[in-house]
Amino acid sequence: MSATAYGWLVLAFPLAGTLIISLGWKRLPGRSPGWIATAMIGLSFLASVGALIQLLGDPVDARQHTSALYDYASAAGLNIQLNVLVDPLSVYMCLIVSGVSTLIHLYSISYMTSDRGFNRFFAYLNFFVFSMLLLVLAGNLVLLIIGWAFVGFASYALISFWYRRETATKAGMKAFVINVIGDIGMVLAAFFIFRELGTFDLLSIFSQAPNTFHTNQGVVVAICLLLLVGAFAKSAQVPFHTWLPDAMEGPTPVSALIHAATMVTAGVYLIARFHPLFEIALTAADVAALVGLATLLIAATIALVVTDLKKIIAYSTMSQIGYMVVGVGIGAYSEGLFHLMTHAFFKALLFMAAGSIIGAMANRQNIDLMGGFRRAMPFTSATLLIGALALAAFPLTSGWFSKDEILDFAAYRGGWYVIFTIGGYIGALLTAFYSFRIGFRVVFGEPCEEAKELEGGHIHHAEPANPATEESEDTDVGFPGSTHQIAERELPMKIAMSVLAFGALFAGLVQIPGVDDVVHKFLHGSFLDSKFYEQGPTTTAAYRGLLIGGLISVLGIAIAYYAYIRNRGWTAALQKRFGWAHDFLENKWYFDEAIDLVFVRPALAIGRWSNRVFERYVVQGIVVAAVDLVRGAGAGVRGVQSGYLRSYALLLVTGFAGLGLYFLLQSS
């Protein structure tokens, strides 16, 4: 089979899974929808592997294949086909998306087992993966935007999965609205591209762009900035990031899926995919990198003070996506995409471990309440620590290789790009600290009540309540189920976490500088026209960067050790001393408040004004005037309709006589 045939199969399996589960959810017995969904994504992963094998058989400069199923729209010089683009970049993304998603599906079978919405959950989950794969494989801009919007909808459905929780439905709406802002940016960018180049086909856009635009021409910068709006909204970059922490309202596997495999990586993919445009619009690429840097620092500082376990991990995602955006923004494409892969492993792992701990805590998520799970949950504790090590970029873990390669590349670019290296290392220090803030506080220390109960062989059970507001709930459909799952007792969870832990530890070995560079070489086929791709720091510089990164990571972990193990009161003292800074970070740099002040309140005020003034006087005035006019005219004409046949006849005769007279006078 050809590579594109595998590409279609990659899309077909998740779609089939969605349809089977959503049409047959009443008839499918027990937990079978979960297994069907997992199998479908697994098959999709196998098809991705098939496509990979086919591509590896091609020469490096002939690895971009397209295949059209049929004409989607064809009229007036516009030809949009339903086509896929199978090339190293899309296959690489497919492998990550479908691979990590398979494990998350497997985990969910156990995690969601007592939830009354089990079947609905898997239908959504399959649809989510399908949308993401469609986005990644799309061969033209229209199909890409369709996938882009599907991902937005699927995230809405899954964040609001527990739809009887008000906080969850609000979080879903927030995510959807912010994503739609991004969609508008994408659609406008597509319009501009069509106006300038007359095509939506990705490969034609990329081949025509260098001949049409000159460097930093206004319109191409505008296109790239509009694309960035879409990318930032999807990838939760400043200032469109506020939906991501709120998205933690969804079930934990959904958080893992959004953060690791499917959604937030879409922005990074988009920038990498559109690199021919960004290399012409260098200003826009710099904007992307600067926003990435701002995001990674802001998110890392917020993660220092947040106390909700899942939100700490959420902010760490924002921060890590910031690294990737810096990477693809400065031209370090393979490095940024490599970080995307390692991040997918360790972030999915962290969320799964967090889900297991939240299960043991009976759905409570505040890390102030947790502690000392190392004896009660040895497996979860080990995987959590592995995830934290990789996140902290501890030497020889996967995160160490990928993160430092991006920073090395920034140093190699030289000039003012050095700020990315410096800022990145500051971020890395903060990352190491907060990842072990989780590690030390949850795993080590004095066991909390729940951990002691678990050591006695019993999972803590609390009255069901919303962890954010403490409102009491029941366990019917629309709320979480009645039982809590931990990895120690559920084989599917254990398998999924073991595979990811392996990836988090060893995935970095595929790209050791100067040794193998597998990812870099494989992705080359998609970046043949890039002027940055062949460049990069020397092997010596790369190892120097790895050394610095490793030292910073160890330093951050050491500070965390000092703060949370050796000298417990230190952080509380700091918090008291720098209360203003703590408040500032606790309130997430006041982004929500600022957006509320700048956009939400004026919009509401305009709405109220329109209702009170515009609607009442202008709109109603026009309507009332029109009604009065018609009624008055009717009253005037009604007198003529007397009902006397002979008066009608007279009117007719005089009318015709008048007309005849008129024409007679005219003609003479």
CB of 629 to another protein, least distance (A): 18
Task: Compare residues 637 and 664 and give the one whose CB is closer to another protein.
Answer: 637
**What is the DSSP-derived secondary structure letter of residue 415?**
G
**Torsion sign across C-alpha atoms 94, 99, 100, 103:** positive
What are the residues facing 83 on neighbouring strands? 68
Query: 73 — phi, psi (to 5°)?
Result: -155, 135
Shortest CB 651 distance to another protein, Å? 11
Which one among 646, 665, 667, 668 touches another protein, defined by CB under 8 A?
A: 646
**Which residue's entry shows tokens 């949009």?**
80
Supply the minimum distance, in Å, between the C-beta of residue 655 and another protein.
Answer: 13
Does position 633 interact with another protein (CB under 8 A)? The reply is: no
Judged by beta carbon, residue 177 or residue 657, the one nearer another protein is 657
Determine which residue in the list 214, 580, 644, 666 makes contact with another protein, applying CB under 8 A. Answer: 644
From first CA to last CA, the distance across the chain in angstroms is 88
Shortest Cβ distance from residue 633 to another protein (Å)? 13
The one segment of 40-48, 161-169, 541-549, 646-654 that binds another protein by CB under 8 A: 646-654
Q: Choose between 457 and 639: whose C-beta lies nearer to another protein.
A: 639
CB 527 within 8 A of CB 333: yes
Does 640 participate in binding another protein (rule CB under 8 A)? yes
Task: Decide if residue 642 touches another protein (CB under 8 A).
Answer: yes
Examine residue 630 and tell whether it contacts another protein (CB under 8 A). no
Told to check if 641 binds another protein by CB under 8 A, we report yes
SS3 66: strand
Q: Give the residue among 209, 392, 219, 379 at the shortest CA–CA distance from 313.
A: 392
Tokens of 475: 């366990």
**Torsions phi, psi for 417 (to 5 deg):** -65, -10
Residues 6+ apart with CB under 8 A from 437: 304, 312, 367, 560, 563, 564
- If one asks whether residue 661 binds another protein (CB under 8 A), the answer comes out as no
Q: Which three-class secondary structure state does DSSP give residue 81?
A: strand
Distance CA 336, CA 341 (A): 9
Applying CB under 8 A, among 422, 650, 659, 661 the residue interacting with another protein is: 650
φ, ψ at 642 (rounded to 5°): -80, -20
How far is residue 156's CA from residue 149's CA, in Å, rounded to a whole number?
A: 11
Q: What is the DSSP letter of 615?
A: I
Tell me, residue by residue from 116 to 135, as one string, x for binding to another protein by CB under 8 A and - for no binding. Answer: --------------------
Report the chain's C-alpha Rg in angstroms.
Answer: 30
Residues with Cβ within 8 Å of residue 574, at least 6 apart in sequence:
582
Helix (H) or strand (E) holding 78: strand 78-86
Q: Smallest distance from the beta carbon of 624 to another protein, in angstroms?
A: 24
Q: Is 664 in the site for another protein (CB under 8 A)?
A: no
DSSP character string of 608-625 = HHIIIIIIIIIIHHHHHH
Contact residue for another protein among 643, 665, 667, 668 (CB under 8 A)? 643
For 435, residues 6+ apart whose C-beta sits below 8 A from its C-beta are 316, 387, 388, 389, 391, 392, 560
As measured in angstroms, the least distance from the Cβ of 166 to another protein is 59
Q: How many residues bind another protein (CB under 8 A)?
A: 13
For residue 662, the minimal CB distance to another protein (Å) is 18
Residue 416 or 644: the one with the smaller Cβ distance to another protein is 644
d(Cα 154, Cα 270) in Å, to the nearest integer?
19
Task: Return the residue of 515, 653, 659, 661 that touches another protein, per CB under 8 A.
Answer: 653
For residues 26 and 646, which CB has a smaller minimum distance to another protein in the complex? 646
Neighbours of 380 (CB within 10 A): 27
CB of 660 to another protein, least distance (A): 12
Cβ-in-10-Å burial (0-12, 13-18, 19+) of 514 comes to: exposed
Q: Is 637 in the site for another protein (CB under 8 A)?
A: yes
Question: Least separation, in Å, of the C-beta of 636 and another protein?
Answer: 11
Query: Contact region for another protein (CB under 8 A) — 230-238, 336-344, 475-483, 644-652?
Result: 644-652
251 preceded by cis ω (within 30°)?
no
Cα 129 to its chain centre, rounded Å, is 12
Identify which of residues 603 and 651 has a Cβ nearer to another protein in the complex: 651
- From the CB of 644, what's the least distance to another protein, in Å? 6
Stretch that binds another protein, among 234-242, 409-417, 599-607, 638-646 (CB under 8 A): 638-646
- To the nearest whole angstrom, how small is the minimum distance from the Cβ of residue 638 to another protein? 4
Residue 458 sits in the site that holds another protein (CB under 8 A): no
636 binds another protein (CB under 8 A): no
Find the part of the chain contacting another protein (CB under 8 A) among 48-56, 470-478, 558-566, 634-642.
Answer: 634-642
Q: Rounded distance, CA 362 to CA 491, Å?
A: 20
Cβ nearer to another protein, comparing 62 with 651: 651
639 contacts another protein (rule: CB under 8 A): yes
Least distance between another protein and beta carbon 627 (Å): 19
Q: Which positions lie near another protein, rule CB under 8 A?
A: 637-646, 649-650, 653
